[in-house]
Structure 1
Amino acid sequence: MPATFRFRRMVDFSDTDMAGIMHFAAFFRFMESAEHALLRSLGLSIYQQHEEGVALSFPRVSARCDYHSPARCENELDIEVVVHRLGTSSITYGFRFSHADHELAVGEMTSVCCLIQEGVRPKPTPLPQDIVALLKPYLSAS
């Protein structure tokens, strides 16, 4: 059974539309916040120094979200994060949003490990083995 990272975040007024319902785009910001929290809990960062003048970062290449029920202003959302896939240079995360044990949405986001250097296009690079080892416990069977 894979480990699941749990993250809680309140829906702010700025996350909602005129009806007080969480705007669809806010789910993507919440997914990113949950991903960052997972990485920080493992002692990692979404953007870290790799070598002099070169950083290691994880630009997104794909994101999707399927909505089942609305989230409303001031709801506290529980966001569960698992890793669906660890590729050679990519990580695909799965997200499940709920409020009061009621599923609201499920999403998925794929990030590619890249070397980032100012003035140079991001260059995909294999995932460092220490990062793979830290994420493996979250790898789901799906």
Structure 2
Amino acid sequence: MTAEAPAAPALPYGRLLPVTVHFDDLDALGLLHNARYPVLVERAWTALWNENGFGFEGDWEAAGDFCNAVRELRISYDAPVDRPGAYAVHLWLERLGNTGLTYGFRFCSADGAVTYARGTRVLVRLDAGTLRPTSWSDRFRAVGRELLRSGG
């Protein structure tokens, strides 16, 4: 008889993506350094968008929707992460506008039960030539709508 992997927890919205905290992500007190949370969240978002065919391969003109900039980042820390290992990031969209979006996140235990940090980040889609705001593609918006917390 083989053991089955535990099912991913049912989430009312968004996606739960696995991330790994390494020993060198910890600070001198043995806690996950505060600056590492946004990096791990970014890696989870990148994996999610890559799963859906979006990415950056060195050419900003070809990057399309991946040509964007952070306008705002907010994060609060609920409980310390005090050891390396398997964790997860719960991701969703709070708002999907014409040229911008706001996504929410929770840095949590691998099963999503314990929240260590939570926050939001605002992104603006940029035209690669002018670096001015431009509209998200229809394909990006379709994927984004599936991640909206409100369900639409």
Q: Please give the range of the TM-score, normalised by the shorter of the 2 chains.
A: 0.7 to 0.9
| 1:73 shift after superposition | 2.9
Which amino acid counterpart does residue 111 of structure 1 have in structure 2? Answer: L
What residue in structure 1 maps to residue 122 of structure 2? 110
Q: Which has the larger strand fraction?
A: 1
* Counterpart among 97, 102, 106 of residue 107 in structure 2: 97
What residue in structure 2 maps to residue 32 of structure 1? 42
Structure 1 distance, partners of 2:57, 2:149, is 25
Query: TM-score of the superposition, structure 1-length normalised?
Result: 0.85
| 1:58 shift after superposition | 1.5
**Contact kept? 1:85, 1:93, Cα under 8 Å:** yes
Give the fraction of aligned pairs with identical amino acids, expressed as a percent: 24
**Contact kept? 2:105, 2:118, Cα under 8 Å:** yes
* Counterpart among 61, 64, 77 of residue 67 in structure 1: 77
Q: Which runs of 4+ in 1 moved over 2 A?
A: 46-50, 53-56
**Contact kept? 1:36, 1:46, Cα under 8 Å:** no
**Contact kept? 1:98, 1:104, Cα under 8 Å:** yes
What residue in structure 1 maps to residue 15 of structure 2? 5
What residue in structure 2 maps to residue 133 of structure 1? 142
**Contact kept? 2:41, 2:107, Cα under 8 Å:** no
| CA root-mean-square deviation | 2.3
1:99-132 CA-to-partner distances (Å, cap 9, x unmatched) read 2621111111111111123xxx512101111110
Task: Give the secondary-structure state (helix, strand or coil) at the position aligned to 2:132.
Answer: strand
What residue in structure 1 maps to residue 3 of structure 2? none
* Counterpart among 88, 91, 99 of residue 78 in structure 1: 88
| 1:82 shift after superposition | 0.4
Question: Does residue 18 of the first structure (1) align with residue 21 of the second (2)?
Answer: no
Question: Can you give the 5+ residue segments of structure 1 that lack an aligned partner in the other structure?
Answer: none
**Contact kept? 1:2, 1:137, Cα under 8 Å:** no
Aligned length: 137
Question: Can you give the 5+ residue segments of structure 2 that lack an aligned partner in the other structure?
Answer: 1-10
